[in-house]
């Protein structure tokens, strides 16, 4: 799981995202689960059908009514909307869930009439979540990823020293009890040297590709990440940011169930 998470966030700034996956909607489970602080509710009426491949790509909430419509939408996209997450934070959906194949028409409860904007969208999300339970038997739970670190540029600017020869063979960092040093090294080499010092995975998020001459002074017997971060900022102009993400783990999702209205 950690390998999957690292691969997905390695090229984009990770954000702590709270994801609550729940299931209810006009069924025996109704009222037993919630999204955020409110229970899931049912649409007045809804239908989910296979979408024509040539249909317009669509996913929208109708202003002032809350009616929901989607066409050529994948289950992954519907889940992402229902729980306000990115699709790359949804884990263990079956492969077919990524295919844009569904058309949805749903009429919102009358008590949503007159609302508009983002508040209305937030009211509709749990309705869509319940619909996914009814039509796809969706069942899932949330987990927090292990803590890891991003190596990033410090706010005060990078203090790394460019190597004089950028075209010579790459060098390597030599660790010692007093830190690590090397010539013509890349930031990914610094990441490798830092991981045993923090005891966690470290992701290179610096966006730096130059080769550098590095001489980082640090007592490797010291295990306080806050002190290490302070020294990285002072000596190299780099920083370590703690990252922990909540992921949506799908336990069950079945193909479209027919006859549910």
- The per-residue DSSP string of the chain comes to -HHHHHHHHTTS------------SSSTTTTS-EETTEE----SEEEEEEPPTTSPPEEEE-TTT--EEEEEE-HHHHHHHHHT--GGGEES--GGGGS--EEEEEEPPGGGTT--HHHHHHHHHHHHHHHHHHHH--EEEEEEPPPEEEEEE-TT---PEEPS-SSSPP---EEETTEEEEEEE-HHHHHHHHHHHHTS-EEE-S---S-EEEEEE--TT---HHHHHHHHHHHHSEEEEEE--EEEEEEE--SPPTT--
Contact 51, 58 (CB under 8 A): no
Structural domain includes residue 261: no
Query: Going by C-beta distance under 8 Å and a sequence separation of 6 or more, which residues neighbour residue 12?
Result: none
**Residue at 177 is within a domain:** yes
Sequence-separated (6 or more) residues with CB below 8 Å from residue 224 = none
Tell whether 23 and 127 lie within a shared domain.
Answer: yes
List the domain range (segments joined by +) for residue 155. Answer: 148-243
Q: Digits of tens for pLDDT over the chain (261 positions)? A: 333 333 333 323 333 222 222 222 333 233 234 554 556 678 999 999 999 888 899 999 999 999 999 999 999 999 999 988 888 889 999 999 998 899 999 999 999 988 888 999 999 999 999 999 999 999 878 888 888 899 999 999 999 999 999 999 989 999 999 999 999 999 999 999 999 999 989 999 999 999 999 999 999 999 899 999 999 999 999 999 998 877 888 999 999 865 455
Rounded distance between C-alpha atoms, residue 250 and residue 21, angstroms:
9
Do 50 and 123 fall within a single domain? yes
Kindly state whether residues 113 and 152 are assigned to the same domain.
Answer: no
Is 202 part of any domain? yes
Instruction: Tell me the whole-structure pTM to 2 decimals.
Output: 0.59
Q: Do 234 and 217 share a structural domain?
A: yes
Residues 131 and 81 placed together within one structural domain of the fold:
yes
Total number of domains constituting the chain: 2
Decide: residue 75, CB within 10 A, 0-12 exposed, 13-18 middle, 19+ buried: buried
Same domain, yes or no: 139 and 152: no
Q: CB within 8 A of 179, min separation 6: which ones?
A: 215, 216, 217, 218, 219, 220
Q: 153 with 127, same domain?
A: no
Asked if 159 and 139 sit in the same domain, the reply is no
Residue 159 covered by a domain = yes
In a domain, 181, yes or no: yes
Whether residue 257 is contained in a domain is answered as: no
Decide if 175 contacts 193 (C-beta within 8 A).
yes
Do residues 106 and 165 share a domain?
Answer: no
Considering the domain architecture, whether residues 139 and 29 belong to the same structural domain is answered as yes
CA 258 – CA 261 distance, rounded (Å): 9
Residues 63 and 138 in one domain: yes
Same-domain check for residues 117 and 170:
no
């Amino acid at each position: 799981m950690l390998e999957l998470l690292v691969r997905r966030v390695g090229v984009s700034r990770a954000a702590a995202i709270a994801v609550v996956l729940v299931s209810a909607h006009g069924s025996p489970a109704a009222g037993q689960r919630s999204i955020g602080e409110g229970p899931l509710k049912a649409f007045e009426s809804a239908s989910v059908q296979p979408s024509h491949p040539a249909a317009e790509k669509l996913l929208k909430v109708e202003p002032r009514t809350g009616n929901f419509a989607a066409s050529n939408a994948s289950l992954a996209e519907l889940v992402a909307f229902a729980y306000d997450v990115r699709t790359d934070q949804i884990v263990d959906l079956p492969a077919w869930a990524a295919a844009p194949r569904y058309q949805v028409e749903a009429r919102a409860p009358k008590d949503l009439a007159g609302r508009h904007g983002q508040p209305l969208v937030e009211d509709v999300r749990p309705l869509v979540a319940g619909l996914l339970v009814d039509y796809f038997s969706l069942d899932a739970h949330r987990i927090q990823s292990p803590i890891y670190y991003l190596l990033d540029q410090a706010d005060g600017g990078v203090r790394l020293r460019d190597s004089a020869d950028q075209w010579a063979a790459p060098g390597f960092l030599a660790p010692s009890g007093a830190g690590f040093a090397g010539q013509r090294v890349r930031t990914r080499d610094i990441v490798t040297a830092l991981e045993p010092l923090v005891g966690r995975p470290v992701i290179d998020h610096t966006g730096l590709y130059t080769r550098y001459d590095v001489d980082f002074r640090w007592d490797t017997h010291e295990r306080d990440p806050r002190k290490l971060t302070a020294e990285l900022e002072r000596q190299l102009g780099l920083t370590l940011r703690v990252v922990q993400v909540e992921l949506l783990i799908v336990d069950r999702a079945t193909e479209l169930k027919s006859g549910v209205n």
